Structure 1
Amino acid sequence: MKKEVKVHSLFSDFDISLFRAGKHYRLYEKFGAHIMEVDGEKGVYFAVWAPSAKAVSVIGDFNYWMEGEHPLNVRWDESGIWEGFIPGVEKGSKYKYKIHSNNNDMKLEKADPYALKCEHPPNTASIVWELDYKWNDKKYMSSRKDKNGLDNPYSVYEVHLGSWRKNMDENRSLTYVEMADELVSYVKEIGFTHVEFMPIMEYPYDPSWGYQLTGYFAPTSRFGDPQEFMYLMDAFHKAGIGVILDWVPSHFPEDKHGLGQFDGSHLYEHPDPRKGYHPDWKSLIFNYGRNEVRSFLISNAVFWLDKYHADGLRVDAVASMLYLDYSRGDGEWEPNEHGGRENLDAISFVRDLNTEIYKSFEGVQTIAEESTSFPMVSKPVDLGGLGFGMKWMMGWMHDTLEYFKKDPIYRQHHQNDITFSMTYTFTENFVLPLSHDEVVYGKRSLLVRMPGDDWQRFANLRLLYSYMFTHPGAKLLFMGAEIGQYEEWNFDTSLDWHLLEYEPHLGIKKVLTDLNKLYKTRPALHEKQFSAEGFEWIAYDDSQNSVLSFIRNGKDPKNSLVIVCNFTPTVLKNYSVGLPAGGKLKEIFNSDDKKYGGSGLKNKVLKIEKESFHGREHSAQINIPPLGTVVFEIL
């Protein structure tokens, strides 16, 4: 027996025209389940896009999951939207859409693509919810543009919420509320300016780490409800820490309750498997040329910035979107209309995405994980770029880790590996990433990849982080790297916090804390981190000693810093370094300090002599510690 479903709509004609044109970027205000009152009755308005359906019903715990009890009405305007108001449905009610397709008369049960809350996996129902929350981050939000600008320090701690720390008594992950205390205080203690969450949108399969999404508008229920996630975001902001969310518009899984074959047709995915199926991840690829899909995706990005106050989105797997031949052999892809390999629809989508975000949200950043040399990824759209604020520097990561794994005795033959990044570092606004991808699948942890005995391994790791923090660009480090994990990351277990009982591991944490402080307090390290004016080589060609020396500049020349790195365990005393001016040279950071577990070789305040060296009129003789980085200021 059919129950009452009232004709009601949140869509105006203008909404429909924007949706169909691919220009409606607030669809979460229209689609989904909305608690409201109609004609004096409280209930829920439902709306879903299913143009290939012949009938759509809402099934849920309020009608015993019976098809046809609450049928929705299809709009007259051929938009493919089914909608209606069901009296009596309340917050917390579980529901799905029962879709009877015109395609082979299929019947499908689908979760709501716009659901604000989902059941805890492996259950798959959507849950009626509201996003009421009293935010306490007005002070942070009003000054966010001053914290997130490209001339500010941008040091990111990448986190997988399920495995950062466990409640060992109950053998479970921490909740959003528990993390608002423990994770926030920890990130603040070490001094990172931002935290980045691997995808927190609802996902069905734990080993996917969140990169196979089914609930695009719902924070995962594994750790709490939406308001509790807002509480965590709020806590970070009150501590002055920005939050970046990983966002995945590149592909989605084939789970039966998800977006795939949503109404019995290729609704969200591209119908051509050469463009709509990802062979590596065995997942479906969005149809970037379909306007309604573009509206869905851009609305989703906007949603997290709007409703959850996110400070940025790190966009996953951008390269897989940009190229038609990505991970495909000959005959497995079709060139674009110009005969090229670029996915023109995806490029257009990305430009629309970034244009909308930067127009509507002050002080946010979008960051591309893009692993190729695609041009102008982080350049403005109006100049022909893709419009991202920053891009991961995958080449730096690869070359640097390849260099560091070599025994220091052989590094003199690979000097180019460690200097090559400077030939292109200012072509984009780069983030230097040592991410989760570098400590899985047999790659081993960063510490274990370092050569030598235990002392040398820890010294190499301190040297790696020091080189990273003095190199131009923003920084990103995956959790566990700051305590010198021995084991590869395992999504199912906690980090090895007991390691901090041992001095060498505690030294790694201390050196990163001091590097964050140095990066934040010394303008030369961040004010011009994306400009060639912010960097000068002193000498990059001392391959015999495996030494690099360079200058970092800020807006005020008086703030310039001199950095010298020694990539061998040989102590270098009275090493001459050419300098830009006279005065005195004062050591302000040394990765070989005893408090970090180093040998303690330091430099007193040195007089700069008017003796030419390295093509400069002044120079000084310094001591360079083994496997160490030394940072000086000129007085």
Structure 2
Amino acid sequence: MSEPLPLDHGHLQKLVTADLVRPDHLLGAHVVTENGVEGVRFGVWAPGAQHISVVGDFNGYNGFDNAMQRLDFGYWGVFVPSARHGHRYKFRVTGADGRTVDKIDPYGRFFEVRPATASIVWQQDYTWSDDAWMAKRSQGFDQPVSIYEVHLPSWKKRGDGWFMNYRDLAHDLGEYVTYMGYTHVELLGVMEHPFDGSWGYQVTGYYAPSSRMGNPEDFKYFVDHLHGLGIGVILDWVPGHFPTDDFALAKFDGSPLYEYADPRKGFHLDWNTYIFDYGRNEVVMFLIGSALTWLQDFHIDGLRVDAVASMLYLDFSRTEWIPNVHGGRENLEAIAFLKRLNEVVHHMAPGCMIVAEESTAFPGVTTPSPFGLGFDYKWAMGWMNDNLRYFEEDPLWRKYHHHALTFYNAYRTTENYVLAISHDEVVHLKKSMVMKMPGDWYTQRAGYRAFLAMMWATPGKKLLFMGQDFAQSTEWAAAEGLPWYMADQPDHRGVMNLVRRLNTLYRERPDWHTGDLKDEGLTWINADDTDNSVYTFLRRDPDSPAWSLIVANMTPMFRENYPVGTPQGGEYRVLLSTDDGEFGGFGTQQPNLTATDDGFNFQTHALRLNLPPNSVLVLEALDTPTVSEQR
């Protein structure tokens, strides 16, 4: 971590003009030595406050001992020689409204465990061992990205029901993710928040990992250990709104400060939260400083920006709203902020990925600024909705919804997409993924295996929420640990084996990831067999001869000697069948895998395949150069 900067006019001027000075290097609590005296320098932005003092362990929470001095541009500061590392503190703010409220430090690095709310002076001291990882990390658009989304507080609990420490989680989670073959983990619920039930999306500590699972050094160890295993770490980050808790950012100086003043622009009715004022340089720098802190100080490899649509549109989920200066519905200040965020991050933290959870057709989300917002990736919400709707349909009627599975390919290269099945899809009575499938228990598992195989075989980066990779049959319950006992049962273990195999294919075969974001990555052989609900396509590596053939049968009907056109004759082999016994299927065999020269589906050759019910087959021509030969 860089040395704290003095709270002088020059640095404050750079901060208020949104220069590239990290605001947390000036503000917050910093252990320093001034004129030979060791203590803590406190700084805070509160232009509307009438009076501020620092209270804490060092003065018995006496508001008269350590009054802060008003500085330039609405900033306040004080040096407290009696304060030390580990002391709890708050800012006692007498605001513009005349009320006196004890506030947490917006730039606090560590906080008490909820329900207590005090900030803690924390002089971070950690020696990293991930230099090699940091030197080579890159988002790599042609690289495999398979993300395991994790809510750390509920991934696994201690025996007494309390949260595991970040260091213990590093080893347990790292071992599991390595075994399953994911390339990244994505964490929700890490930034400090007061209410467990918010899952970490009601953030009060934008610069602090949650104290529920340890201190900042513990969290750095977590990241460091995963990097040592070759696993990237992404965090969910929430710059779209913040909670109304009186002790936090809400009306920080007795007036709207971090939030827009007009509730038609500054308050989310659905979430009972405030909306950041993206028109204030100080707020913009507070948020960008938070992003850089995680990417630079904590070595995080990427941020998934939550609820981007709510930031882009002034009429998002509201009937009363204020048009922009052109009379439109777009929040021009938020758009400028997102562009600035991505520009700064890509300059200051090269190799990190910024992902948008954006659910509308807003153009250019992953187009570089100034023409687009500049994100690296966007969640494919349309793909998710279409696929879930199709797979939840009774197979008898799927032929009437056949192109729900093909429509994504009409637009998939307009943005850089992540195919995401997140926590949002397995809560609030939506059922777990396997239980969304129609039919009896065997048919549900077969359908779910087919869903997973189609997800991995479809171009786009991957994200799967914890528990869904072993077919958790219950909904996710954030207050409990995952039902790991299920993973030991054969029915669930089969699905786990499949996800592991899919990750292996995705990582090791260039035709399964180098064309993720390119038109050449997928070629349809037959996208229109609606009567049989069968799909046939090729995955290709645009830069090599590698390709694989995918055949999906989406009904519980066994189809014998089904004709499939292929671009090449000779012998084929099965790379994967979701009906294999190791995955929980029947193990249907293919009696003949020799392609004949009587063409079919406008291809030069054809195979006759036995298609198991609710299954996906992946095949490879034997005389096509293998992945190892290409390397």
Q: Deviation string for 1:197-221 (max 9, x for gaps)?
A: 0031110001000000111111000
User: Which residue of the other structure, out of 43, 48, 55, is the alignment partner of 2:44?
Assistant: 48
The match for 1:288 is 278
Rounded Cα–Cα distance in structure 2 between residues aligned with 1:271 and 1:588: 59
Say yes or no: does 1:88 pair with 2:78. Answer: no
Q: Deviation string for 1:463-495 (max 9, x for gaps)?
A: 110000000101110001011111111100111
Deviation at residue 93 of structure 1 after TM alignment: 0.3
Secondary structure of the corresponding residue to residue 463 of structure 2: strand
User: Which residue of the other structure, out of 289, 292, 295, is the alignment partner of 1:305?
Assistant: 295
Rounded Cα–Cα distance in structure 2 between residues aligned with 1:319 and 1:529: 24
Residue identity matched to 2:250: G
Residue identity matched to 2:162: R
Deviation at residue 12 of structure 1 after TM alignment: 4.4
Secondary structure of the corresponding residue to residue 269 of structure 1: coil
Identical residues among aligned pairs (%): 45
Q: Deviation string for 1:66-88 (max 9, x for gaps)?
A: 1121011111x3x1110121112
The match for 1:33 is 29
The match for 2:547 is 560
Say yes or no: does 1:346 pair with 2:334. Answer: yes
User: Which residue of the other structure, out of 80, 85, 93, is the alignment partner of 1:99?
Assistant: 93
Rounded Cα–Cα distance in structure 2 between residues aligned with 1:73 and 1:18: 20
Q: Deviation string for 1:258-310 (max 9, x for gaps)?
A: 10100111110000111100000000000001111001101110110011000
The match for 2:194 is 204
Task: Kindly indicate whether the alpha-carbon contact (under 8 Å) linking 2:7 and 2:77 is maintained by their aligned counterparts in 1.
Answer: no
The match for 2:612 is 625
- Bigger drift between 196-205 and 613-622 goes to 613-622
Deviation at residue 18 of structure 1 after TM alignment: 2.5
Say yes or no: does 1:136 pair with 2:132. Answer: no
Task: Kindly indicate whether the alpha-carbon contact (under 8 Å) linking 1:610 and 1:617 is maintained by their aligned counterparts in 2.
Answer: yes
Residue identity matched to 2:121: V
Rounded Cα–Cα distance in structure 2 between residues aligned with 1:13 and 1:605: 79
Per the alignment, do residues 90 and 476 of structure 1 end up closer, same or farther by CA in structure 2, a change over 3 Å counting? same
The match for 2:464 is 477
Rounded Cα–Cα distance in structure 2 between residues aligned with 1:131 and 1:619: 64
Rounded Cα–Cα distance in structure 2 between residues aligned with 1:535 and 1:135: 41
Deviation at residue 371 of structure 1 after TM alignment: 0.5
The match for 1:252 is 242
The match for 2:140 is 149
Secondary structure of the corresponding residue to residue 56 of structure 1: strand
Matched pairs, number: 619
Say yes or no: does 1:524 pair with 2:515. Answer: no
Secondary structure of the corresponding residue to residue 79 of structure 2: strand
Rounded Cα–Cα distance in structure 2 between residues aligned with 1:604 and 1:37: 79
Task: Kindly indicate whether the alpha-carbon contact (under 8 Å) linking 2:5 and 2:11 is maintained by their aligned counterparts in 1.
Answer: no
The match for 2:625 is none
Rounded Cα–Cα distance in structure 2 between residues aligned with 1:434 and 1:371: 14
User: Which residue of the other structure, out of 427, 446, 449, is the alignment partner of 1:462?
Assistant: 449
Deviation at residue 25 of structure 1 after TM alignment: 4.8
Deviation at residue 354 of structure 1 after TM alignment: 0.3
Deviation at residue 95 of structure 1 after TM alignment: 0.3
Deviation at residue 569 of structure 1 after TM alignment: 1.4
Deviation at residue 407 of structure 1 after TM alignment: 1.6
Q: Deviation string for 1:112-136 (max 9, x for gaps)?
A: 0001100000001000002210001
Q: Deviation string for 1:366-406 (max 9, x for gaps)?
A: 00000111111011114x11100000011111111111111
Say yes or no: does 1:404 pair with 2:404. Answer: no
The match for 1:512 is 499
Secondary structure of the corresponding residue to residue 179 of structure 2: helix
Residue identity matched to 1:471: T
Task: Kindly indicate whether the alpha-carbon contact (under 8 Å) linking 1:400 and 1:418 is maintained by their aligned counterparts in 2.
Answer: yes
Rounded Cα–Cα distance in structure 1 between residues aligned with 2:546 and 2:538: 11
The match for 1:218 is 208
Task: Kindly indicate whether the alpha-carbon contact (under 8 Å) linking 1:22 and 1:293 is maintained by their aligned counterparts in 2.
Answer: no
Task: Kindly indicate whether the alpha-carbon contact (under 8 Å) linking 1:91 and 1:129 is maintained by their aligned counterparts in 2.
Answer: yes
5 Å matches for 1:47-126?
47-75=43-71, 77=72, 79-101=73-95, 103-126=96-119
Task: Kindly indicate whether the alpha-carbon contact (under 8 Å) linking 1:248 and 1:315 is maintained by their aligned counterparts in 2.
Answer: yes
Deviation at residue 608 of structure 1 after TM alignment: 2.2
Deviation at residue 605 of structure 1 after TM alignment: 6.6
Task: Kindly indicate whether the alpha-carbon contact (under 8 Å) linking 1:192 and 1:516 is maintained by their aligned counterparts in 2.
Answer: yes
The match for 1:4 is none
The match for 2:313 is 323
Rounded Cα–Cα distance in structure 1 between residues aligned with 2:128 and 2:590: 49
Rounded Cα–Cα distance in structure 2 between residues aligned with 1:20 and 1:493: 44
Say yes or no: does 1:264 pair with 2:257. Answer: no
The match for 2:7 is 11
Rounded Cα–Cα distance in structure 1 between residues aligned with 2:369 and 2:421: 28
Deviation at residue 623 of structure 1 after TM alignment: 2.0
Per the alignment, do residues 43 and 491 of structure 1 end up closer, same or farther by CA in structure 2, a change over 3 Å counting? same
Secondary structure of the corresponding residue to residue 391 of structure 1: strand
- Bigger drift between 550-559 and 209-218 goes to 550-559
Secondary structure of the corresponding residue to residue 225 of structure 2: helix
Q: Deviation string for 1:562-601 (max 9, x for gaps)?
A: 1111101112222211222333322111111011110101
RMSD between superposed Cα atoms in Å = 1.3
Task: Kindly indicate whether the alpha-carbon contact (under 8 Å) linking 2:152 and 2:189 is maintained by their aligned counterparts in 1.
Answer: no
Residue identity matched to 2:56: G
Residue identity matched to 2:142: D
Task: Kindly indicate whether the alpha-carbon contact (under 8 Å) linking 1:199 and 1:247 is maintained by their aligned counterparts in 2.
Answer: no
Rounded Cα–Cα distance in structure 2 between residues aligned with 1:167 and 1:605: 52
The match for 1:5 is none
The match for 1:428 is 415
Secondary structure of the corresponding residue to residue 451 of structure 1: coil
Task: Kindly indicate whether the alpha-carbon contact (under 8 Å) linking 2:592 and 2:608 is maintained by their aligned counterparts in 1.
Answer: no
TM-score, with structure 1 as normaliser: 0.96
Residue identity matched to 1:114: Y
Residue identity matched to 1:439: V
Rounded Cα–Cα distance in structure 2 between residues aligned with 1:414 and 1:304: 43
Task: Kindly indicate whether the alpha-carbon contact (under 8 Å) linking 1:587 and 1:605 is maintained by their aligned counterparts in 2.
Answer: no
Rounded Cα–Cα distance in structure 2 between residues aligned with 1:558 and 1:218: 48
User: Which residue of the other structure, out of 146, 150, 159, is the alignment partner of 2:150?
Assistant: 159
